[in-house]
Amino acid sequence: MGKATFSTILSFKSFLMRLTLPVFWGILLVLIGFSPRSTLSQAPGAMPPDRTIDAQTQKEIIDSVTCALNEIYVFPDVAQKMEKHLRKKYQKKEYKEITSLRDFGQKLTENLQEISKDRHLRVMFMSDEMLAGFQGDTLTDEEKKRELEKRQRDNFCFKEIKLLEGNIGYIDFRCFSDAGDAGPTAVAAMNFLAHTDAIIFDLRQNGGGSPSMIQLISSYFFDEPVHLNSFYIRKSDSTHQFWTQSHVQGPRMTDVDIYVLTSSRTFSGAEEFTYNFKNLKRGTIIGETTGGGAHPVDGRIFSNLNVGMSLPFGRAVNPITGTNWEGTGVEPDIKVPADEAFEVAHFEALKKLYDKCKDEERKEELDWHISRLNALRNPVTVDASVLQEYAGVYGPRKITLENGVLYYQREDNPKYRAIPMGNDTFIFEKLDYFRIQFIRDSSGLVNEIVGLYLGGHQDSHKRDR
């Protein structure tokens, strides 16, 4: 095969740490946000110049790609089928009109996935500048520092952590960064949520990442060591197991209800987290079926051809099912469109807490939040003529009707849009502890407004005008 046989092999972690989203054309695994040294000087989103290729170069690329597939691809028989598929297409001159190396890589990716159905398997164009960043598979100390600073600015993919009504924790993170660097951030997040009664993990925009972060976060939710997942490696015919950690910093949350939000974009390591919690019966999955990528990958670079590969070398083996989510994705327990998953999860969490609660005061609080959330999700329609009857001044409180919408304001405080729970009771999006009720006199005229507060307190004002 001549020069086409020379290549560089990168470890799974090293490859991910060097590739950015533009390089992988959207593979969600590399949403981790690391940049190869070749992209450090490029403008954000810059597309490197393409390279023109001929039929001979196409053959050399196919030779190199299929050689790598036969050497380490997770399924040897599938590797052989993919090789036959590519060579048949080449012999039939189906690639003869393709002169762009970038387009050829994309076409090979499509053809390989036609056989393998493996979304981790990809072939891509790499510019000379990008290749220079992989020379020797090393980074200088300064480059490592810059990479770490970039990930720190992104908060290691942890985007939002907050408390929702009813003492429900919410955490939105977009990748599983390596715990070696991101561990303290994850620990801080877990400790912030340590005293919640339920936690919603939002993985709808999470494309995967490091098993070490999956291991760290999962460890907070089990008392005893739990076997989470294993990876079978084809070339070495070996299996590597991943268990929860024996020690975590901060309290464990073994009785906390878990909800995992998914979308069709949830991929790879994010799917593993979801699959683990589902099969361990430790969480409720809500949203859409996930993307279906269960294979760990190595990177292989053919520098003389300006070509790189994302090359699956193993497969996940769940200790409970004996299989994984490759090609099928993870089916949610409650299937809803991704953009509805958060509201559904919050409602389900509140309802479950209410059903098992024994404390009457706590049940009243949960019922308050449940009824409020139900009104936000399914607002009642109130006739405009009725809304008009409510407009007026009630001591320090003022009610206005603007374009068919009722608004509430107290003195110089902000004005809030009122959302009907019923014909005479209204809530507000940003005031979870407060709602109002209109009272009519014996003749049916609205003459009073009552403020209702979480905890049972009430105050009222008669209508002035």
- Dump pLDDT digits (tens) for 185-234: 999 999 999 999 999 999 999 999 999 999 999 999 999 999 999 999 99
> Quick one: 203 and 256 in the same domain?
yes
Q: Establish if 193 belongs to a structural domain.
A: yes
| Of 81, 105, 137, the domain-final residue | 137
> Quick one: 83 and 227 in the same domain?
no
Mean pLDDT confidence for 74-80 = 97
pLDDT of residue 452: 97
**Dist. CA 235–CA 139, nearest whole Å:** 27
Q: Establish if 373 belongs to a structural domain.
A: no
Q: Establish if 377 belongs to a structural domain.
A: no
Domain containing residue 424: 384-462
> Quick one: 284 and 322 in the same domain?
yes
pLDDT of residue 34: 30
> Quick one: 248 and 177 in the same domain?
yes
> Quick one: 111 and 160 in the same domain?
no
List 162's β-bridge partners, or say none: 170
Residue 357: half-sphere exposure toward Cβ, Cα within 13 Å: 17
Q: Establish if 413 belongs to a structural domain.
A: yes
pLDDT of residue 22: 29
Q: Establish if 68 belongs to a structural domain.
A: yes
What 3-state DSSP class applies to 66? helix
> Quick one: 255 and 331 in the same domain?
yes
> Quick one: 196 and 291 in the same domain?
yes
Q: Establish if 225 belongs to a structural domain.
A: yes
pLDDT of residue 325: 97
Task: Give Cα separations from 176 to 239, 255, 279, 287, 331 (angstroms).
Answer: 22, 24, 20, 19, 21
Host H or E run for residue 43: none
- pTM here is 0.85
258 and 344 Cβ atoms separated by less than 8 Å: no
> Quick one: 120 and 210 in the same domain?
no
> Quick one: 182 and 216 in the same domain?
yes
Q: Number of folded domains in the chain?
A: 3
pLDDT of residue 379: 83
Asked if residue 416 has pLDDT above 80, the reply is yes
List 428's β-bridge partners, or say none: 418, 431
List 439's β-bridge partners, or say none: 448
> Quick one: 125 and 71 in the same domain?
yes
Q: Establish if 23 belongs to a structural domain.
A: yes
Contacts of 342 (CB under 8 A, 6+ apart): 200, 202, 261
Residues 25-69 pLDDT 10s: 333 333 323 332 333 333 344 566 789 999 999 999 999 999 999
Contacts of 257 (CB under 8 A, 6+ apart): 197, 198, 199, 283, 284, 349, 352, 353
Q: Establish if 416 belongs to a structural domain.
A: yes
Query: With bands split at pLDDT 50, 70 and 90, how would you rate the model's confidence at 139?
Result: low
> Quick one: 318 and 421 in the same domain?
no
> Quick one: 426 and 456 in the same domain?
yes
